[in-house]
Amino acid sequence: MISSINPVVAEPLTECADKLAELPAGTAISRQAALRLIRCADDDLPALLAAARSARDHFKPGMITYSRKVFLPLTNLCRDYCGYCTFRRDPAQAGAHTMTPDEVLTVARAGEKLGCTEALFSLGDKPELLFPEMRDTLRRLGYKSTLHYLEAMCELILRETTLLPHPNPGLLGAEWIERLSVVSPSMGLMLESTNAALLARGAAHDNAPDKAPAKRLHMIEEAGKQRVPFTTGLLIGIGETAEDRVETLLAIRDLHQRYGHVQEVIVQNFRAKPTIPMANAPEPNEGEMLRAVAVARLLMPNVNIQAPPNLNAPYYEDLLDAGINDWGGISPLTPDYINPESPWPHLEQLRVRTEKKGLQLRQRLPVYPEFLPSLEARPALLKQRLECARDVEGLVPRKGSGVA
Ligand code: SF4
């Protein structure tokens, strides 16, 4: 059962930042309040942040988690062309690559030695629908589709290593959610934004059919029906408004209220890079990021809220003041292939900067502790791997380094 996650309880109208101190712990703010707070004046920001921190401390006192992972870019071919993406390639482009099973295992085993517990599969969406070269590659590897190949690689990781797969393969239908849930405890898809205008010509999702918000909401709902612990979130700075950010968070909240399966909401900021169509688009500033994180926390006080430290250097620890309780996946081995210009912080640095805020850093699995009971009906191999990887708290056992 996923019912151990408390749903949002009530929605008092709290439109003024200075009234937030009166908000009972664990209570969610209303849509109207969120719309006002996400545009609050600088003078009101400290009150907003204090309320968000207080909600986080009520939900998970004293602890910030992260997942030590290897990043496995199974293929960087993709049929979509998002305006902010540096990851994707066409087959003839330099750097186009589909990993072989040997490459997958080599990286996973190296990560195992460094104490990683998550194998994050991040890949382009259905490249074989657009590229005959990908169809040839899959034929050579012996698979009908990228998803068949992904399923086999998740199973390989489970069988041959102690890592737990967390696939991020783009849009999935009901059948593939079910199939991948047999070989992974959790999965993810960023909702990104509910603003369908981003699909218009020249916008961030022009020529990215898999980014249609309705399709992504449908997948997140399907994962909920199947009780799959699910990671999602929003991208800020891709052409949406502050109000769109609130609507996106509300859509996630609505699905979580209905199905209780959203294990984590990521608030991710756009970073400009010279090679992308959006090279000259403005990046969201720190104030926007803090407001978005704090409003996410207050809309969903009992949900894990994450923001990536590498995309928020040098001020990333300020995000702790806005109510996050997770740093997401950090790799001691592989780069962030999605944002290669933004190295992950050294884990020791992350620990020191987290502790300076009076919080303890703990390593978690790709699935959050409160969702482990929902995996009881999963196949024996997956359950066995989970049992070996967790401690009594559902986290990765401490190893004395202080970081785990
Ligand atoms: S962001 Fe994802 S879906 Fe969009 S182009 Fe890049 S890999 Fe493809």
- Ligand 1 midpoint to CA 174 (Å): 21
Rounded-to-integer distance, Cα 20 and Cα 40, Å: 13
Nearest protein Cα to ligand 1, atom 3: 80
- Ligand 1 midpoint to CA 336 (Å): 14
Instruction: Write down the pLDDT at residue 298.
Output: 97
Which is the closest atom of ligand 1 to the Cα of 78?
8
Which is the closest atom of ligand 1 to the Cα of 211?
3
Cα angle, residue 77 at apex, residues 149 and 269 outer, rounded to 5°: 110
Which amino acid is present at 5? Answer: I
Could you tell me which of 323, 331, 291, 290 has the C-alpha nearest to residue 304? 323
- Ligand 1 midpoint to CA 403 (Å): 32
The residue whose CB lies within 8 Å of the most ligand 1 atoms, and thus the one to mutate among 75, 77, 82, 193, is 82
Which is the closest atom of ligand 1 to the Cα of 84?
1
Q: Are residues 345 and 311 in contact, defined by beta-carbon separation less than 8 angstroms?
A: no
The residue whose CB lies within 8 Å of the most ligand 1 atoms, and thus the one to mutate among 97, 121, 122, 125, is 125
Distance, C-alpha 92 to centroid of its chain: 30
- Ligand 1 midpoint to CA 235 (Å): 13
- Ligand 1 midpoint to CA 67 (Å): 23
Instruction: Write down the pLDDT at residue 402.
Output: 46
Domains in the chain (CATH in brackets) are: 29-389 (3.20.20.70)
User: How does pLDDT run along the chain (404 residues), one tens digit per residue?
Assistant: 343 344 444 455 456 777 888 888 889 999 999 999 999 999 999 999 999 999 999 999 999 999 999 999 999 999 999 999 999 999 999 999 999 999 999 999 999 999 999 999 999 999 999 999 999 999 999 999 999 999 999 999 999 999 999 999 999 999 999 999 999 999 999 999 999 999 999 999 999 999 999 999 999 999 999 999 999 999 999 999 999 999 999 999 999 999 999 999 999 999 999 999 999 999 999 999 999 999 999 999 999 999 999 898 888 999 999 999 999 999 888 777 677 777 777 888 899 999 999 999 999 999 999 999 999 999 999 999 999 999 999 999 987 544 55
- Ligand 1 midpoint to CA 211 (Å): 9
Which is the closest atom of ligand 1 to the Cα of 122?
7
| pTM assigned to the model | 0.94
Determine how many CB atoms are found less than 10 A away from the CB of residue 224: 20
Give the DSSP H/E element, type plus range, for residue 121. Answer: strand 118-122
Instruction: Write down the pLDDT at residue 1.
Output: 36
CA within 13 Å, CB half, 239: 20
Q: Are residues 222 and 174 in contact, defined by beta-carbon separation less than 8 angstroms?
A: yes
Nearest protein Cα to ligand 1, atom 7: 124
Instruction: Write down the pLDDT at residue 345.
Output: 74
Rounded-to-integer distance, Cα 104 and Cα 334, Å: 12
Instruction: Write down the pLDDT at residue 114.
Output: 92
Q: Ligand 1 pocket: which residues have CB below 6 Å?
A: 78, 80-82, 85, 87-88, 124-125, 170, 208, 210
Rounded-to-integer distance, Cα 324 and Cα 63, Å: 10
- Ligand 1 midpoint to CA 271 (Å): 15
